[in-house]
Structure 1
Amino acid sequence: MKSAMDDQALARQTGPRTLAIDVGGTGLKASVLDNAGGMLVNRLRVPTPYPCRPDILLAALAELTAPLPTFDRVSIGFPGVIRGGRVITAPHFDTKAWRDFALEAAISRLFDKPARVLNDAEIQGLGIIAGRGLEVVLTLGTGLGSAVFADGMLAPHLELAQHPISKGATYNDYVGDAARHAHRPKKWNRRVLKMIRIVESLLHYDVLYLGGGNSANIIVDLPHNVRVTSNDAGITGGFCLWNEAFWHSGRDK
Structure 2
Amino acid sequence: MATSDASAAESQYAAIGLDLGGSSIKYALVDSAGKLVESTFGQATTPEGAHPDAVAQVMTEIIGELQRLTGEELDGIPAGVTVPGVVIDGVVHTAANIDEAWIGLDATAMLGQLLGREVSVLNDADAAGMAEVYAGAGSQAGRPIKGSTLLLTLGTGIGSAFFRDGVLFPNVEFGHLEIDGFNAESKAAARVMREENLSWEQYIARLQRYLSHVEFLCSPDLIVIGGAISEDHEQFLPQLKLRAKLVPAEYNNAAGVLGAAHRALHSGT
Question: TM-score by structure 1 length?
Answer: 0.80
Q: 1:225 aligns with which of 239, 245, 260?
A: 245
Cα distance in 2 for residues equivalent to 1:226 and 1:91: 28
Name the SS of the counterpart of 1:105 in structure 2: helix
Q: 2:79 aligns with which of 74, 82, 85?
A: 74
Q: Residue 27 of structure 1 corresponds to which residue in structure 2?
A: 24
Cα distance in 1 for residues equivalent to 2:180 and 2:78: 42
Letter in 1 for 2:237: D
* 1:163 paired to 2:139: no
Relative to structure 1, is the Cα distance of residues 239 and 46 closer, same or farther in structure 2, using a 3 angstrom cutoff? closer
Relative to structure 1, is the Cα distance of residues 116 and 172 closer, same or farther in structure 2, using a 3 angstrom cutoff? same
Relative to structure 1, is the Cα distance of residues 194 and 174 closer, same or farther in structure 2, using a 3 angstrom cutoff? same
Cα distance in 1 for residues equivalent to 2:204 and 2:111: 37
Q: Residue 172 of structure 1 corresponds to which residue in structure 2?
A: 185
Cα distance in 1 for residues equivalent to 2:24 and 2:203: 22
Letter in 1 for 2:216: S
Relative to structure 1, is the Cα distance of residues 93 and 204 closer, same or farther in structure 2, using a 3 angstrom cutoff? same
Relative to structure 1, is the Cα distance of residues 209 and 66 closer, same or farther in structure 2, using a 3 angstrom cutoff? same
Q: Residue 4 of structure 1 corresponds to which residue in structure 2?
A: none
- Native 8 Å contact 2:23 2:45 kept in 1: yes
Identity of aligned residues (%): 26
1:165 shift after superposition: 2.8
Cα distance in 2 for residues equivalent to 1:172 and 1:65: 35
Name the SS of the counterpart of 1:241 in structure 2: helix
The alignment's C-alpha RMSD in Å is 2.7
Name the SS of the counterpart of 2:121 in structure 1: strand
Q: 2:107 aligns with which of 103, 107, 124?
A: 103
- Native 8 Å contact 1:90 1:99 kept in 2: yes
Relative to structure 1, is the Cα distance of residues 197 and 50 closer, same or farther in structure 2, using a 3 angstrom cutoff? farther
1:217 shift after superposition: 5.0
1:12-36 Cα offsets, whole Å, 9 max, x none, are: 9735521101122343210011111
1:171 shift after superposition: 3.0
Q: Residue 196 of structure 1 corresponds to which residue in structure 2?
A: 211
Q: Residue 212 of structure 1 corresponds to which residue in structure 2?
A: 227
Q: Which runs of 5+ in 1 are unaligned?
A: 1-11
Letter in 2 for 1:36: A
Moved over 4 A (4+): none
Cα distance in 1 for residues equivalent to 2:170 and 2:79: 23
- Native 8 Å contact 1:13 1:34 kept in 2: no
Q: Residue 168 of structure 2 corresponds to which residue in structure 1?
A: 154
Q: What are the equivalent positions in structure 2 for 1:30-69 lying under 5 Å apart?
A: 30-40=27-37, 41-68=39-66, 69=70
Question: TM-score by structure 2 length?
Answer: 0.76
Cα distance in 2 for residues equivalent to 1:48 and 1:210: 26
Q: Residue 118 of structure 1 corresponds to which residue in structure 2?
A: 122
Cα distance in 2 for residues equivalent to 1:106 and 1:227: 38
Cα distance in 2 for residues equivalent to 1:141 and 1:64: 26
Relative to structure 1, is the Cα distance of residues 156 and 117 closer, same or farther in structure 2, using a 3 angstrom cutoff? closer
Count of aligned positions: 235
Q: Point out the more displaced range, 157-166 or 99-108.
A: 157-166
Relative to structure 1, is the Cα distance of residues 208 and 90 closer, same or farther in structure 2, using a 3 angstrom cutoff? same
Q: Residue 7 of structure 1 corresponds to which residue in structure 2?
A: none
Cα distance in 2 for residues equivalent to 1:165 and 1:248: 39
Cα distance in 1 for residues equivalent to 2:86 and 2:155: 16
Q: Point out the more displaced range, 24-33 or 73-82.
A: 24-33
Which structure is higher in RCO with an 8 Å CA cutoff and minimum separation 6?
Answer: 2
